[in-house]
């Protein structure tokens, strides 16, 4: 196990690494641009967007947001415990982080099932085209994040000498990126129209 600290004040070493932060900004710009496009379309057809938004379950959206925020909180705690060389607690909070992600996916799956059953598929109208594209892309990111966390959990459990702080921080940064993307998606799709 390596908890060697890098110089975090250097422009080249943001927490998680510079390459990951470049990726994070690219993702945020892409999702941000799509959401701005959705808002522009929503302004042009407010009645249709409002009626479509009412088909969504705001309670599930809110619970999902809280699940992801809580999951991110557990991830931050896992990194802190790793820095303190408390691998047992670090591993526990990493598992809780993944549990939050799984809860999100289960609720999202339920929501998708309801929409498909009601015929509200990707081609139903402009609102649902944005809904499916944005939320599905986010779900794909979350699945990739879960796989990364599974690898980190494996490193922590089986091969403790291999786990290092940079890997943990990079995995955490990717997971938090999923939180950030959802924080942009949630208000635009579920609340404002």
Number of residues that bind another protein (CB under 8 A): 46
Site for another protein in 66-85 (CB under 8 A): 66, 69-70, 72-73, 75-77, 79-80
- For the record, the structure tokens of 39 come out as 């808002």
Cα dihedral sign, 105-156-96-82: negative
**Shortest distance, CB of residue 119 to another protein, whole angstroms?**
25
For residues 2-40, b (16+ Cβ closer than 10 Å) or e, as one string? eeeeeeeeeeebbbbbeebbeebeebeeebeebbeebee
Site for another protein in 101-160 (CB under 8 A): none
Stretch that binds another protein, among 100-108, 113-121, 151-159, 185-193 (CB under 8 A): 185-193
Q: Does 19 bind another protein (CB under 8 A)?
A: no
Q: Does 40 bind another protein (CB under 8 A)?
A: yes
Q: Does 15 bind another protein (CB under 8 A)?
A: yes
CB nearer to another protein: give 15 or 146: 15
Q: Does 184 bind another protein (CB under 8 A)?
A: yes
Q: Rounded distance, CA 138 to CA 140, Å?
A: 5
For residues 92-131, b (16+ Cβ closer than 10 Å) or e, as one string? bbbebbbebbebbbebbeebbeebeeeebeeebebbbebb
3-state SS class at 170: helix
Stretch that binds another protein, among 30-38, 113-121, 133-141, 152-160 (CB under 8 A): 30-38
Q: How many CA atoms lie within 13 A of 150 on its CB side?
A: 8
The footprint of another protein (CB under 8 A) covers 8-11, 13-16, 21, 25, 28-29, 32, 35-36, 39-40, 43, 58-59, 61-62, 65-66, 69-70, 72-73, 75-77, 79-80, 172-173, 176, 179-180, 183-184, 186-188, 190-192
């Amino acid at each position: 196990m390596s908890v060697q600290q890098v110089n975090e004040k250097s422009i080249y070493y943001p927490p998680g690494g510079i390459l990951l932060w470049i990726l994070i900004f690219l993702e945020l710009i892409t999702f941000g641009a799509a959401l701005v496009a959705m808002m522009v379309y929503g302004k042009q057809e407010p009645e249709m967007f409002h009626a479509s938004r009412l088909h969504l379950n705001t309670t599930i959206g809110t619970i999902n947001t809280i699940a992801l925020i809580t999951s991110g909180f557990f991830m931050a705690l896992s990194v802190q415990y790793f820095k303190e060389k408390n691998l047992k607690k670090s591993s526990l909070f990493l598992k809780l982080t993944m549990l939050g992600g799984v809860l999100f996916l289960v609720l999202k799956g339920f929501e998708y099932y309801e929409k498909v059953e009601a015929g509200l598929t990707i081609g139903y109208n402009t609102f649902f085209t944005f809904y499916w594209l944005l939320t599905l892309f986010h779900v794909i990111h979350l699945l990739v994040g879960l796989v990364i966390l599974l690898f980190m959990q494996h490193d922590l459990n089986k091969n403790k000498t291999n786990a290092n702080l940079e890997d943990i921080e990079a995995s955490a940064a990717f997971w938090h990126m999923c939180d950030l993307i959802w924080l942009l998606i949630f208000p635009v799709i579920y609340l404002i129209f």
